[in-house]
C-alpha cells in the first residue's frame, strides 16, 4: 500500500475491521506485549538502581535521561537505515538485540552496567520505533489509519497500567531479575510477530546504499520537512505543544504541595492519583477517536486537543480542590490523545514510504531533544518565577499551539485533501 488517503472519509471504520487485518494485528499485539514488558522493566530498573546505589534518587534520573538521549544523538542517522532496510527485518533484529540486552540485566552488579545497558537498549529503539511507525500505514487501508493509530494508543494505555502493576508485583514477590526475564520474553514475542508479517516492508527501488550517500540520505529527511509544508507545520505546532505539555509534566509533580498545600508524603500519593487519572483519560481518548474521530477533520481535532490541554492546565494553577484537579488531569489525558493521534496519522499519510523512516526519525530526534531541554528549563522557570506563573505560561503556549494549528494556511488548505499527492521528495 503506497497511496495515502484523504484525512476525512465517509465510510465508517470499526475497531474489529482493523483488528481483522492480519499484519496490523501482529504489529498491534507485539506492541502491546513488548510495551507491557518495557513498563515492567521500568519498575525493575528503579528497584535495581536503588539496590545498587543505596537509595540515591539521582541515579534513577540518570537512567531516565539515558533512555531519551540516543534518539536525540542518533535518530537523524537511524532513519536513513530504516528507509534502506526492510522494516520487518529491522523490527525483528532490533527486538532480538533488545531481548539479549534486557536479559543481561539479570547478572549486573554495578550501576554503571545499568547505565550502559539502558543507553544501548534506547539506541536500538531509535531504529525500531521509526520502522514500526513507518510500517504501520502499510498494514491497513488508507481510510483505516486513524482507527489503527487509536488502537495503538489504547493498547499503550492498557500496557502502561498492566506493566506498572505486574512490575510492582514481580519486584515485591520474586525480585527484579524475574521482571527482566519477563521483558526478555516480551521482546521475543515481538520479534516473532515481526517475522510473521507478510511481504516486504521496503519501499520499491530502495537499496542498501553506500556510506558515501549516507549524508545525502540524512539531508532528505530534513529537506522533506521544508518541501512538505504540512509536515513542517505539524512539527512546528508539535514543538509548541512540547514546550507546554513537557513543561507542565515537569512542574505538575509539585501541584499538590505548591497549590493544594499538602505535605510531601501526601503529595506523592496525590501525584500517583493524577497519573492514574491522566492514563485513564488517555485510554478513553483513544477509544473515542477510534469510534468518532473519523467524523471530524484532522485540523479541528488537533487544534481542539491543544486548546483543551491549555484550558485544563490553567485550571490547575488556581484550583484548590483535589477532586477538580483529578478530573482535570483525566481531561488532559483525553485532550492529549485528541491532538497526538490525528497528528501522527496526518504525518504518516503525508509521507511516502521511501522517506517515511527518515522523516519520522527527524521528528523523534527533535521531540526528545526538546522534551529533555523543556523539562530542565521548566523546573528552573518555576523555581525563579513560581509554580503558578510557570503553569499559566505552559497553558498559554498550549492554547497558542491550537490557535496556530487553526490559523496556518498550509494546514487549512490541506485539511480535506490527499496529503501525499502534494508531497515532493527532494533526493
Per-residue pLDDT, 412: 83
Q: How confident is the model at residue 400 (pLDDT cuts 50, 70, 90)?
A: very high
Quick one: average pLDDT of 83-112?
A: 91
**In whole angstroms, what is the distance from residue 420 CA to residue 223 CA?**
16
Closest CA to 363 of 79, 7, 31: 79
Q: How far apart are CA 153 and CA 173, in angstroms?
A: 30
Question: Can you identify the CATH homologous superfamily of domain 220-421?
Answer: MFS general substrate transporter like domains (1.20.1250.20)
pTM given for the model: 0.77
Q: What are the E-state strand segments in 282-341?
A: none
Whether 15-197 shares its CATH topology with 220-421 is answered yes
Burial (0-12, 13-18, 19+ Cβ within 10 Å), 380: exposed
Q: Which of 113, 68, 116, 94 is CA-nearest to residue 188?
A: 94
Match 486513524 to its residue by C-alpha cell.
146
* pLDDT tens sequence across 355-368: 888 888 788 888 87
Confidence of residue 267 (pLDDT cuts 50, 70, 90): low
The overall average pLDDT reported for the chain is 81
pLDDT in tens, 24-40: 999 999 999 999 998 88
In the chain, domain spans:
15-197, 220-421
404: enclosing H helix or E strand: helix 387-407
More reliable by pLDDT, 5 or 360: 360
C-alpha span between 332 and 318 (Å, rounded): 16
pLDDT over 70 (residue 45): yes
Architecture of domain 15-197: Up-down Bundle (1.20)
Cα–Cα distances (Å) from 385 to 94, 178, 380, 391, in that order, read 44, 45, 9, 10
| Predicted confidence (pLDDT) at residue 278 exceeds the cutoff of 50 | yes
Amino acid at each position: 500500500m503506497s497511496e495515502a488517503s484523504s484525512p476525512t472519509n465517509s465510510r465508517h471504520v470499526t475497531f474489529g475491521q482493523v483488528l481483522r487485518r492480519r499484519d496490523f494485528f501482529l504489529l498491534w499485539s507485539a506492541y502491546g506485549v513488548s510495551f507491557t514488558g518495557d513498563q515492567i522493566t521500568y519498575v525493575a530498573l528503579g528497584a535495581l538502581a536503588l539496590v545498587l546505589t543505596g537509595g540515591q534518587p539521582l541515579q534513577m534520573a540518570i537512567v531516565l535521561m539515558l533512555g531519551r538521549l540516543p534518539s536525540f544523538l542518533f535518530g537523524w542517522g537511524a532513519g536513513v537505515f530504516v528507509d534502506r532496510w526492510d522494516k520487518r527485518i529491522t523490527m525483528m533484529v532490533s527486538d532480538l538485540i533488545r531481548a539479549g540486552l534486557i536479559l543481561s540485566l539479570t547478572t549486573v552488579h554495578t550501576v554503571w552496567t545499568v547505565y550502559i545497558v539502558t543507553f544501548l537498549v534506547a539506541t536500538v529503539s531509535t531504529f525500531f520505533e521509526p520502522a514500526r511507525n513507518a510500517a504501520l500505514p502499510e498494514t491497513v487501508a488508507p481510510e483505516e489509519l486513524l482507527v489503527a493509530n487509536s488502537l495503538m494508543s489504547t493498547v499503550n494505555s492498557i500496557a502502561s497500567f498492566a506493566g506498572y502493576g505486574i512490575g510492582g508485583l514481580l519486584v515485591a514477590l520474586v525480585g527484579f531479575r524475574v521482571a527482566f526475564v519477563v521483558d526478555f520474553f516480551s521482546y521475543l514475542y515481538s520479534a516473532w510477530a515481526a517475522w510473521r508479517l507478510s511481504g516486504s516492508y521496503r519501499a520499491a527501488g530502495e537499496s542498501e546504499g553506500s556510506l558515501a550517500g549516507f549524508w545525502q540520505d540524512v539531508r532528505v529527511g530534513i529537506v522533506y520537512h521544508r518541501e512538505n509544508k504540512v509536515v513542517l507545520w505539524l512539527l512546528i505546532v508539535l514543538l509548541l505543544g512540547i514546550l507546554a505539555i513537557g513543561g507542565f509534566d515537569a512542574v505538575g509533580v509539585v501541584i499538590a504541595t505548591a497549590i493544594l498545600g499538602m505535605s510531601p508524603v501526601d503529595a506523592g500519593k496525590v501525584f500517583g492519583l493524577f497519573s492514574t487519572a491522566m492514563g485513564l483519560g488517555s485510554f478513553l481518548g483513544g477509544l473515542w477517536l477510534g469510534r468518532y474521530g473519523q467524523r471530524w477533520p484532522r485540523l479541528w481535532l488537533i487544534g481542539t486537543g491543544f486548546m483543551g490541554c491549555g484550558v485544563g492546565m490553567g485550571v490547575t494553577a488556581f484550583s484548590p480542590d483535589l477532586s477538580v484537579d483529578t478530573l482535570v488531569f483525566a481531561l488532559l489525558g483525553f485532550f492529549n490523545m485528541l491532538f497526538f493521534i490525528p497528528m501522527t496519522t496526518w504525518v504518516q499519510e503525508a509521507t511516502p514510504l521511501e522517506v517515511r523512516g527518515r522523516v519520522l526519525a527527524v521528528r523523534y530526534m527533535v521531540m526528545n531533544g526538546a522534551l529533555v531541554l523543556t523539562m530542565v528549563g521548566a523546573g528552573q522557570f518555576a523555581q525563579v518565577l513560581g509554580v503558578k506563573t510557570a503553569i499559566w505560561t505552559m497553558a498559554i503556549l498550549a492554547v497558542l499551539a491550537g490557535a496556530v494549528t487553526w490559523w496556518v494556511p498550509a494546514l487549512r488548505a490541506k485539511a480535506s485533501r490527499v496529503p501525499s499527492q502534494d508531497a515532493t521528495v527532494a533526493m
